[in-house]
Chain A
Amino acid sequence: MSTYTLRVNGQQHSVDVAPDTPMLWVLRDALGLVGTKYGCGIGQCGACTIHVDGKPRRACRTAVSTVGTAAVVTIEGLSSDAKQPLQQAWVELDVPQCGYCQAGQIMTAAALLKENAHPADADIDNAMNGNLCRCASYVRIRSGIKRAAEIAAASTSSQGGK
């Protein structure tokens, strides 16, 4: 067991866990942030996607000992008011079916939109292909990403392009 000081969703947390513990289980068991989901444990399904220094990472393949002081963001920290454009679009278009994969889908999509504010279908394919949806809600996930891009663009223009 070792002690790690982590920066998660803007807050510092100290955890005492084995060095090889994946961030997935640190978040879920030690910090009680259960929005990040276990699906496969081998980086195949994307249900555990988090941001580490702004980049999408599979929390099941990210050992706590490798995170250091990097800023970790989980679905719980994506917004303080559930009004991040992807969250708004997901509710507006009723994207979730069972919903289990959706935190991972949203985190991957958030990283995509940060890099590419208006992704084409091929960009969405490339960014989202690692995230499985067992309910196959892919049609609405794709629409949701496009809708979120619109919401974000409208909000940017209404703020005078700030």
Chain B
Amino acid sequence: MTRAPGTPSNTIDRRGFIKAGALLGGGLLVGTYVRFGADDALAETAPTDFAPNVFVSIAPSGAITIIAPNSEMGQGIKTGLPMIVAEELDAAWTDVKIVQGDWNPAYGRQSSVGSGSTTANYAPLRLAGATARAMLIAAAADTWGVPASECIAQKSFVVHTQSNRRASYGSLATKAATMPAPANAPLKDPKDFTLLGTRVPGVDNDKVVTGAPLFGIDVRLPGMVYATYTKCPVFGGTVESANVDEVKGRPGVRDVFVLSGVSGLTPGVAVVADSTWNALSATKALQVKWNAGPVASQSSTEMAAQAAQLAKANPPAALPENAKVVEAAYHYPFLAHATLEPQNCTAQFKNGVMEMWTPTQMPIAGVQLVAQGLGIPSSNLVVHITRLGGGFGRRGSNEFSIEAAAIAKRLDGVPVKLMWTREHDFAHDNYRSNGWHYFTAAIDNAGKVALLHDAFVKMQGGPGDMGANGFPFIAIPGSKVVSSKLPAGIPTGYWRAPGENGNCWATQSFVDELAHAAGREPRAFTLELLDAIPPAAQRGFDIARMKAVLDLATGKAGWGRARPRGEGQGFAISHTNNAYVAIVADVTVSKAGELAITRLTAAVDCGTVINLSAAEAQVQGAMLDGISAAWFQKVTIEGGAAAQTNFDSYPMLRMRQVRSAVEVHFVKSPLPPTGLGEPGLPPAAPALCNAIFAATGKRIRTLPIKDTDLKWA
């Protein structure tokens, strides 16, 4: 390891991860320290010093540099995390420069998944900022011979009001590094926040609007070559043979080779050329004989039949007598992530070191794949995290990392950019699992739900399983979810709000269905169910917060007004990643069945709002993403392969469909922040489907919506 350009001095004794010291050439730095435990693969890269994991440094020039450790994919994390440091530091935001951190175990959790980056980093980053502020104040107080308690920090200055003295952070930084670091630097009361909760534009917006290189696909290195990697369209298939020599003769082609037998790498054929177009053209000439394997017999049609059989094998208990029985089967399909930037990765293997430029949500997953698959110790892996052209969970798995690295290792020394085509991206996703809910409910004479049974089916493996530990199951005594699985084969994975993205649609649609079956007004019905949750079942589910967002959303949306046929309003609620969200959808459906969304209203309790602009954008985007998927999207499996290949067969929400207001209202809260990349998504689709029911009397029980004729008379 390179020795750090700093001298470690004062270790702060708060969970042992804040350290402060001097910058080489003067100035203050505050960083974090991570203890390494059982993971020996990572321990070997443990820093011997703490400068590589500096979170904030202040140079004598006054320049304040804050590291953004997580992957920016549109969720605003590269702006939001530094804002947390700047708030506690009392730095003027205009003085702050943000630097994207490379993969480094010392930064702690760099996996940008599960809406967890903000939640995980909030406390340590506040402490880092507060520690620096306390040391700057101590330096000023010492210089002026006044008590530190009389000094305040303000927009990158320390001020002593009584004597009307002020000193810039830059002028104090070098001395501050020599001051004892406080063990427990005082944190601000959230009501005193001046930066958090305001609207701060993304720090890279200037680069985005001028087309500056930012994304993985934009990486260019001297002497770089371009590669494609073709895998069997049928999942699990392997290469039997390929016309490698013929393709080698195509224009601009540098090399063509089969890769197989590498742990963690799907077998395939690499085509390496001097330009992207020559690589793509040569790949079209590639003829591969595949061993398709057993998954070739799988199809979406067959899966549906199997799911019905599995559900039938798990019937509800005896139904109560004299109760009204409501049965409904809901189905959601496979979904692709379809990040607009296709998967890619650039790698160079030189002198035993694999250096990679990776648009990844989980650098550690790529590191582990490459280290284990190619036998390169993780201390010899350098991973630069680029901006991601969308994540949505797709870039947690890192096939592209090991594919690029395996090609780079073969090309020894030559940098190579691996690029997936859009078609390859659709064909080799880790899809959102399909799912089936076979619901049975009984409503007693008093209009109460006396039984709720859900025979749930999904693919084996991957996220998205469920039990009866969420709403509405916890509100209904004796309710049951029996989960069964279809055979594995089609790879499934994390897709924005895993599990909830489909299950919230099914359960919240069925709750609406039950309200109508019970002859109750849906909002009152849901409020009553929420009140019925026994304390023992609440476990982290705060009924008051849930009701507050439902009140806020329905209040803003003008819930309950009578509407003519063809117009409808629906709502849904969810508790995802600890955030509470209620969404109201207003729609019109013409007699010919044309659906239009006229208004979307969300209310969100995500604790402290970090960046109001990014938070609002995330909720708007998540709602519309949920609606885009529910309205238009499905991946169907035929012969063990995905049938959809590009945006012509996998439509997506477009400008014309977003004519309405999309309002987001936040509950003001001093509680620590939840993440917000995902929580806005789950309730959007059921709110929309419940609105369609209100408008037309048609209940959508199979997604996507476009497959149902909404015509009414």
> A residues within 8 Å of B by Cβ?
1, 17-18, 20-22, 25, 28-30, 32-42, 44-45, 47, 74-76, 78-79, 82, 86-87, 90-92, 94-103, 106, 121, 124-126, 128-142
Contacts and interface: CB of A to CB of B under 8 A. Distances in A.
B489 interface: no
B658 A136 contact: yes
B16 interface: no
B39 interface: no
A6 to B, nearest CB: 15
Interface residue tally of chain B, by bracket? 35 or more
Given A96-B209, A99-B74, A99-B214, 10 more contacts: A25-B275, A38-B276, A39-B341, A39-B342, A47-B340, A98-B74, A99-B205, A125-B656, A136-B624, A137-B617
20 contacts: A17-B275, A18-B252, A20-B281, A21-B277, A29-B275, A34-B217, A37-B217, A39-B647, A42-B422, A90-B208, A91-B209, A98-B340, A98-B391, A100-B340, A100-B390, A103-B209, A103-B211, A134-B390, A135-B625, A137-B617
B347 interface: no
B422 A98 contact: no
Nearest to B275: A29
Interface string B528-571: 00000000000000000000000000000000000000000000
Contacts of B646: 40-42, 44
B77 to A, nearest CB: 11
Given A35-B210, A82-B206, A125-B656, A18 B281 contact: yes
A25 B658 contact: no
A44 B614 CA distance: 27
B204 to A, nearest CB: 7
A41 B422 contact: yes
A132 B214 contact: no
Given A128-B655, A136-B625, A141-B655, A37 B209 contact: no
A52 to B, nearest CB: 17
Interface string B240-277: 00000000000110000000000000000000000111
Contacts of A30: 275
Given A131-B655, A134-B652, A135-B621, A36 B211 contact: yes
A140 B213 CA distance: 23
A102 B389 contact: no
Given A87-B209, A102-B208, A138 B387 contact: no
Contacts of A22: 277
Contacts of B659: 121, 125
B112 interface: no
A76 B211 contact: yes
Nearest to A86: B209
Contacts of A78: 210
Given A129-B655, A138-B624, A42 B648 contact: yes
Given A1-B251, A18-B278, A132 B340 contact: yes
Contacts of B392: 134
Contacts of B73: 98
Nearest to A79: B210
Interface of B: 72-76, 199, 201-202, 204-206, 208-215, 217-218, 220, 226, 251-252, 275-278, 281, 338-342, 387-392, 419, 421-422, 613-614, 617-618, 620-621, 624-625, 628, 646-648, 652-656, 658-659, 662
A100 B204 CA distance: 12
A74 B211 contact: yes
Contacts of B620: 136-137, 139-140
A136 B662 CA distance: 11
B20 to A, nearest CB: 33
Q: Which of B206, B210, B342, B625 counts the most A-chain CB atoms under 10 A from its CB?
A: B210
Given A41-B421, A96-B209, A136 B277 contact: no
Nearest to B73: A98
Contacts of A36: 211
Contacts of B656: 125-126, 129
A96 B340 contact: no
A45 B340 contact: yes
B624 A96 contact: no
A25 B273 CA distance: 13
B624 A44 contact: no
A9 B628 CA distance: 36
A134 B206 contact: no
Contacts, number: 188
A29 B277 contact: yes
Contacts of B281: 18, 20
Contacts of B617: 94, 97, 137, 140
A47 B218 CA distance: 14
A95 to B, nearest CB: 8
Q: Which of A34, A75, A90 counts the most B-chain CB atoms under 10 A from its CB?
A: A34
A43 to B, nearest CB: 9
The 4 A-B pairs of least Cβ separation, nearest first, read A35-B211, A100-B389, A98-B74, A97-B74
B201 A91 contact: yes
Nearest to A27: B211
Nearest to A130: B654
Nearest to B207: A99
B625 A82 contact: no
A18 B251 contact: yes
A118 B655 CA distance: 17
Nearest to A97: B74
A23 to B, nearest CB: 10
B652 A94 contact: no
Nearest to A108: B655
A36 to B, nearest CB: 7
A138 B624 CA distance: 9
B313 to A, nearest CB: 39
Contacts of A139: 620, 624, 658, 662
Contact of A87 (B210, B614, B625): B210
Contact of B648 (A44, A100, A126): A44
A49 to B, nearest CB: 11
Contacts of B391: 98
Contacts of B209: 75, 82, 86-87, 90-91, 96, 102-103, 106
A138 B661 CA distance: 11
Contacts of B252: 18
Contacts of A97: 74-76, 617-618, 621
Contacts of B647: 39-40, 42, 44-45, 132
A90 B617 CA distance: 13
A130 B655 CA distance: 8
A20 B390 CA distance: 30
B205 A91 contact: yes
A30 B208 CA distance: 21
Contacts of A20: 281
Contact of B208 (A47, A76, A96, A131): A96
Q: Which of B75, B208, B212, B214 counts the most A-chain CB atoms under 10 A from its CB?
A: B208
B655 A98 contact: no
Contacts of A96: 74, 202, 205, 208-209
A96 B390 CA distance: 11
B426 to A, nearest CB: 10
A18 B220 contact: no
Nearest to B661: A139
Contacts of B618: 97
